[in-house]
Amino acid sequence: MTYITPEAAREQDDALREAENRVEELESQLAIEQSYIGNLAEEMAQLDKELSTLRQAVELATTAVPTMTMDADNPIRMMHRVVAETETLREQLRKAIAQNYCTFCGRILATIPEEKTP
């Protein structure tokens, strides 16, 4: 049987308390990090949802330009092209409406009999 001096027993007790304190610190730090990871996971899920919505919006907008090919690396450039193509189509429509309106007005004017002057 080995005999432990009171001083050695105190040193062992101190070392054990230090180890227990370190374990508690590490457990506390682990809980904080797990909470942080949980928050990051929620944020990533929200960002994935937003990204999905934006992808759908870009895909929908690009249907206005049937000749466009998808460029996943540069969706902003794609949207600029969609806007430019849409503006071109809008201007063509304005011109067509103006031309048809003038043609329509001309037809109406042609049906009105001219007044005879004495």
Residue-wise pLDDT tens digits, 3-34 = 888 898 899 999 999 999 999 999 999 999 99
In total, how many domains does the chain have? 2
**Statement to judge: residues 27 and 80 lie in one domain:** no
**Statement to judge: residues 58 and 111 lie in one domain:** no
Residue-wise pLDDT tens digits, 43-89 = 999 999 998 888 888 888 888 888 888 777 888 888 888 888 888 88
CA dist 104 → 63, 90, 97 (Å): 32, 20, 10
**Statement to judge: residues 84 and 38 lie in one domain:** no
d(Cα 106, Cα 44) in Å, to the nearest integer? 62
**Statement to judge: residues 57 and 78 lie in one domain:** no
**Statement to judge: residues 58 and 72 lie in one domain:** no
